[in-house]
Chain A
């Protein structure tokens, strides 16, 4: 009993420390690949591998931090509510772009992965890759995929979006604040929104609206795509 409490405390403090230290590093140098979601995760994974600690043991503490995900998703409604004017003023282009993004993101992801012959469980984990991590993990879990893998695919989508995205959108002449904001938010969620901030406040607001609404539309459409693709 005592040992369990100590283990829980240790891993909670360890996760917090890794996050805050890596966050300081990110704020100081501001390179995308230093984002704490990536670096802190790597530090913890390396620690567990080197000390030969099981993931279940880590989760004795980790589950407490994990339990904040649900309320945090609910809290996303507050920034969306604050941007309701922007949303209402551009309702048609914003909603259409996000819907197209969710449909293209889910259908091309599934079609390509199926083409390469990947298993059903991998397809289900890959399906919500354009959706913000906490929601993507829940979608995958409900459909029978692996939430941890979903989180990794979401991260790969985010990083490819911000690394290739700027030159790619320039090439396609996507340059209005709405175009750029939706492009980043609908494909690269929170990581894309952080990048959109470098373009301007309006781009970032549009991107954060795209991130939140992609999560809502994606939750509705994911089971539909599973059905369409006979998974």
Chain B
């Protein structure tokens, strides 16, 4: 009934945490086993969880990106434990259908993230970044907690799938809390600080996994939320993020910094599908964006130059910009199609307008990034990393040739 029997794959994370005491290099293996075993479970729904095919794919993405980040930049013991705790929390969050459970998982992940930043980073700024992270997450927690309380006072439940709509105040508080935790602009400062102090592979992980889990959980809860109150507040934030992220990315100096800022705009695109009925396209978008974004961060850190390497870089960034025929184009096209179909008239005008401008700005930003990459002197890139780039970019191209059938 509660679905707790579905949680046996989490034992792999516990096993990984225990073995890390003796052999830390085994952690990626256990994370991969966790992802694969969740993916092998049947599609089910219970009082606490719903395991959809999309959630399985996301958890695979989480597992693979965690393992890759680990291989690129191994972590000390405390950071390894914190990362395993985060993987577990986000892995459950993306399946959660109960608001109290969601809240608890968010807090677990946030606390683990706080320790992770301190333990994984060697930057002198890590304490300040972690403190800012903590303060903003406490604010988000408070708002979510108030939202839950107001919901209960109004006589609504916290569980049930699909979730019943709450009152305007409860929904607004929940939306606001979510926005702070996702890092929508203008509540993004804590996240950019985290990006700056972490090793790049783990910063890339932060740009893909936590945001993805929070947004996708919001989609799980959305069907009934939309029936009562449209999340208008989030639409405004999505519009601001769409344009603000790329504007900041254009001015950014470093290549990773450009990608960090651009990731805020990519989050903004999710506003296009914050409407009942449009969720599936949101999942598809985040899966494709997440995979391409993670690889792009790695590519930018150590670009593979030369005729083939440049083509691979072009494909990866084309995917982020949404150029056909790579898969990133199709998932973005589906977002726009959903927006036309499901959003209200004024939201449509505002959000599609913002997304249109952002897409043009995105071409400029990713084009500039590519240009800077091509100006930079070549670096030594090991064969394994080249293969990773090539398979990733080739996969996005081949799947893109199948249109949306590729998903």
Q: Do A and B come from one complex?
A: no
| A positions within 8 Å CB-CB of B | none
Which residues on B are within 8 Å of A, measured CB to CB? none
